[in-house]
Structure formats: structure tokens, C-alpha cells
Amino acid sequence: MWQKGHPYRWRTFIRAHSPWFFHKLGIAGKGQDCEKVGGQHSWYNKDGKTSACYHCKVVREGKLWMEK
């Protein structure tokens, strides 16, 4: 999901459109916490029990990806 002005969204775009080895080198890695820099989390199902944000390193308990 594109969020205009989201401080970490460009990193997600680069990760989605670059070769996998860039990720291993740490190029365009995830941010620390979207909320701390004024953005919103975009959740995905990490393992059926927890939710992880596409844009940052935050992982939380629950099925947040199902909430809209």
C-alpha cells in the first residue's frame, strides 16, 4: 500500500524491485518503527500468530493484518 509521505515506504519499494542480494547487504533495509516517525504500519501475516510490518522491524502478537 502506498502512503504518500510515509518515511519508510520508499525502502519497501526498493526491496520489492531489487535483486535479493541487495537485501543481504543491508541496502534499503527496514526502518525501526513507523509510528515513531509519523507513519502507519502495514501488516502482514508473519507466522499465523504474529503480525509484522512491511515497512519496519515491528512485530506484534495477533492477526493485525486482518483488521482494516
In terms of DSSP H, where are the helices of 1-68?
9-16, 20-25
* Cα-based distances in Å from 57 to 28, 48, 52, 63: 13, 17, 7, 16
Does residue 1 have a pLDDT over 60?
no
Does residue 37 have a pLDDT over 80?
yes
More confident residue, 35 or 28: 35
Does residue 33 have a pLDDT over 70?
yes
CA torsion 39→43→20→48, rounded to 10°?
Answer: 160
Question: Any idea where the domains of the chain sit in the sequence?
Answer: 9-66
Does residue 47 have a pLDDT over 70?
yes
Cα(40)–Cα(26) distance, integer angstroms:
23
Instruction: Please give the model's pTM, rounded to 2 decimal places.
Output: 0.74
- Do residues 51 and 44 touch, judged by C-beta distance below 8 A? yes
